């Protein structure tokens, strides 16, 4: 199987899981295609008075288990195949966690760093205008993804409220707290992965103090570094799109987060506090116990997986390991905690946000943490058990676990719905 096609690579995992369950082949066929993907052109006015067009998509991949759920990505390389693949992963992620959602995803092909704040706001509002009939609190619920954040979700929630003529906070998650956002959503992706590693540490044979390498230092990367360092683990290497830093004695995580907050690369800390320069592509092969890919897809592949020295990979990014990368890691005995489980803390707290919006009653941060921990441990344990019972990787086990739930729901809808939707 080639590594060029992201969706084909993703579907390999579906076939691998299906081989371990006796499922109607029509169910698998249904899950191989997106239910609907819409492409639009957004045209906005730039600050200099000119107009500019951007291509945007929203994919509702599968809504068998509930309204479709998934983030909106702003990225110059965004494309329809990536959107559909990310929506496919959301379908399985929500099923792994038993959240009452299907999977969706959206994107705008744009480099948001090239836009002023006012232009970014106009683009975000234009997205909701274009997809006002696609999204909805019980239909399709967006959230942040790569290069989108709570400020953008706030503008989108406001635009939707203006269109429908009333506040409708449950239409989008990851909002600012002032607009009905949830406490604990900011670090939820990393925190979920952190709870998972802590819960399975004994089974995974992890030592007391882990040496950790984090690839990508955005929302997920910064928070996982902070959470692990606070527990006494050593973050020895970190990278972002401009390069990496290394320190065998442990990097100063606060200094790295401060640099990012000021809009600088982690590379700007080289020479301070014992931070040494590291080529960005060398991070995957750094000597460490835990490798945390927290950037984009296809970062660990057939050509660099052989160099991985970590015993454990925690996928906070979506799709960071290709199928051939997976096979090499498995042969080396490296355990991979797969994206659809490992980074599901984000969508789980999005679910809490949606529940709080619907009930109009808000939980404390501690309640959010406790509920997230309980779900991560429950589903992490269930996936671990499947992997032992069937003697398969944690990735295949997560797909088996999710596919069982999806198949049950597809069949429960009835065959007439099955063939017409
Ligand atoms: N974009 C995140 C993900 O890939 C969060 C999605 C959500 O909260 O709906 O899981």
User: DSSP string covering 260-329, please?
Assistant: HHTT--GGGGTTSTT-EEE-GGGGGGSS-SEEEE-S-SS-B-TTTGGG---SEEE--SSS-B-HHHHHHH
Q: Are 108 and 72 in contact (CB under 8 A)?
A: yes
Structure tokens that stand for 286 in this block = 């750094």
353 pocket-lining for ligand 1 (C-beta < 6 Å): no
Residue 2: predicted pLDDT:
44
290 pocket-lining for ligand 1 (C-beta < 6 Å): no
70 pocket-lining for ligand 1 (C-beta < 6 Å): yes
Distance from the CA of 323 to the center of ligand 1, in angstroms?
Answer: 22
315 pocket-lining for ligand 1 (C-beta < 6 Å): no
* Number of the ligand 1 atom closest to the C-alpha atom of 69: 9
Cross-strand partners of 385: none
Q: Are 288 and 309 in contact (CB under 8 A)?
A: yes
Q: Which domains does the chain have, with CATH numbers?
A: 35-176 (3.40.50.10860), 188-342 (3.40.50.720)
* Number of the ligand 1 atom closest to the C-alpha atom of 350: 8
Distance from the CA of 185 to the center of ligand 1, in angstroms?
Answer: 11
Distance from the CA of 297 to the center of ligand 1, in angstroms?
Answer: 15
| Of 65, 58, 109, residue with least CA distance to 84 | 58
For residues 386 and 367, what is the distance between their CA atoms, to the nearest angstrom? 29
346 pocket-lining for ligand 1 (C-beta < 6 Å): yes
Residue 3: predicted pLDDT:
46
* Number of the ligand 1 atom closest to the C-alpha atom of 73: 1
Residue 420: predicted pLDDT:
57
* Number of the ligand 1 atom closest to the C-alpha atom of 86: 4
Active-site entry in 105, 175, 234, 260: 105
219 pocket-lining for ligand 1 (C-beta < 6 Å): no
320 pocket-lining for ligand 1 (C-beta < 6 Å): no
Distance from the CA of 294 to the center of ligand 1, in angstroms?
Answer: 13
DSSP code, position 181: P
Q: Which residues of the chain fall below pLDDT 70?
A: 1-4, 415-421
Top mutation candidate among 71, 75, 402 for ligand 1, by most atoms within 8 Å of CB? 71
Contacts of residue 383, defined as CB under 8 A and 6 or more positions apart, other chains included, come to: 96, 341, 394, 397, 398, 401
Q: Are 226 and 251 in contact (CB under 8 A)?
A: no
Helices 219-230 and 253-261: crossing angle in degrees, nearest 10, is 160
Q: With the CA atoms of 318, 38, 354 and 191 taken in that order, what torsion angle do they form, in degrees rounded to the nearest 10? A: 10
Distance from the CA of 271 to the center of ligand 1, in angstroms?
Answer: 36
Residue 326: predicted pLDDT:
95
High-pLDDT (> 90) share of the chain, %: 95
pTM of the model: 0.96
Structure tokens that stand for 24 in this block = 């109607």
Top mutation candidate among 78, 150, 345, 350 for ligand 1, by most atoms within 8 Å of CB? 350
69 pocket-lining for ligand 1 (C-beta < 6 Å): yes
Distance from the CA of 143 to the center of ligand 1, in angstroms?
Answer: 6
Distance from the CA of 153 to the center of ligand 1, in angstroms?
Answer: 12
Distance from the CA of 48 to the center of ligand 1, in angstroms?
Answer: 34
User: Which residue in the block uniquely carries the two structure tokens 């704040």?
Assistant: 117
Is 105 tagged catalytic?
yes
Residue 419: predicted pLDDT:
57
Top mutation candidate among 10, 145, 190, 402 for ligand 1, by most atoms within 8 Å of CB? 145
* Number of the ligand 1 atom closest to the C-alpha atom of 174: 8
For residues 421 and 417, what is the distance between their CA atoms, to the nearest angstrom? 6
* Number of the ligand 1 atom closest to the C-alpha atom of 343: 10
For residues 16 and 396, what is the distance between their CA atoms, to the nearest angstrom? 7
| The 3-state secondary structure of 339-383, one letter per residue | HHHHCCHHHHHHHHHHHHHHHCCCCCHHHHHHHHHHHHHHHHHHH
């Amino acid at each position: 199987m080639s590594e060029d096609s992201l969706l084909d690579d993703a579907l390999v995992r579906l076939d691998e899981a299906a081989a371990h369950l006796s499922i109607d082949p029509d169910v698998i066929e249904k899950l191989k295609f997106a239910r609907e993907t819409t492409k639009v052109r957004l045209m906005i006015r730039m600050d200099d008075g000119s107009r500019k067009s951007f291509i945007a998509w929203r994919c509702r991949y599968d809504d068998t288990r509930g309204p479709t759920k998934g983030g909106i990505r702003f990225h110059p390389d965004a494309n329809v195949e990536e959107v559909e693949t990310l929506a496919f992963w959301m379908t399985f992620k929500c099923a792994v966690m038993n959240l009452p959602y299907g999977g969706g995803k959206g994107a705008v092909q744009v480099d948001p760093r090239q836009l002023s704040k006012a232009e970014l706001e106009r683009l975000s509002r234009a997205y909701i205008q274009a997809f006002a009939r696609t999204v909805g609190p019980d239909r399709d619920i967006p959230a942040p993804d790569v290069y989108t954040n709570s400020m953008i979700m706030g503008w989108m929630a406001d635009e939707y409220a203006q269109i429908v003529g009333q506040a409708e906070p449950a239409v989008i998650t990851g909002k600012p707290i002032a607009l009905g956002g949830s406490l604990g959503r900011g670090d939820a992706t990393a925190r979920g992965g952190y709870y998972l590693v802590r819960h399975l540490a004994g089974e995974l044979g992890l030592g007391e103090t882990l040496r950790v390498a984090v690839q990508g230092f955005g929302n997920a990367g910064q928070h996982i570094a902070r959470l692990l360092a606070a527990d006494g683990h050593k973050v020895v290497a970190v990278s972002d799109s401009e390069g990496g830093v290394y320190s065998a004695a442990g990097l100063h995580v606060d200094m790295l987060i401060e640099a990012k907050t000021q809009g600088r690369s982690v590379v700007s800390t080289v020479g301070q506090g014992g931070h040494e320069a590291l080529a960005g592509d060398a991070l995957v092969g750094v000597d460490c116990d835990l490798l945390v890919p927290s950037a984009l897809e296809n970062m660990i592949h057939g050509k660099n997986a052989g160099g991985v020295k970590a015993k454990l990979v925690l996928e906070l990014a979506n799709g960071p390991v290709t199928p051939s990368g997976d096979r090499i890691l498995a042969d080396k005995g490296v355990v991979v905690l797969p994206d659809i489980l490992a980074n599901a803390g984000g969508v789980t707290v999005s679910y809490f946000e949606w529940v709080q919006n619907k009930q109009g009653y808000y939980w404390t941060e501690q309640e959010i943490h406790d509920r997230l921990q309980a779900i991560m441990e429950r589903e992490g344990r269930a996936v671990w058990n499947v992997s032992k019972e069937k003697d398969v990787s944690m990735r295949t086990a997560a797909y088996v676990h999710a596919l069982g739930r999806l198949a049950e729901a597809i069949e429960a809808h009835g065959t007439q719905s099955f063939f017409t939707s």
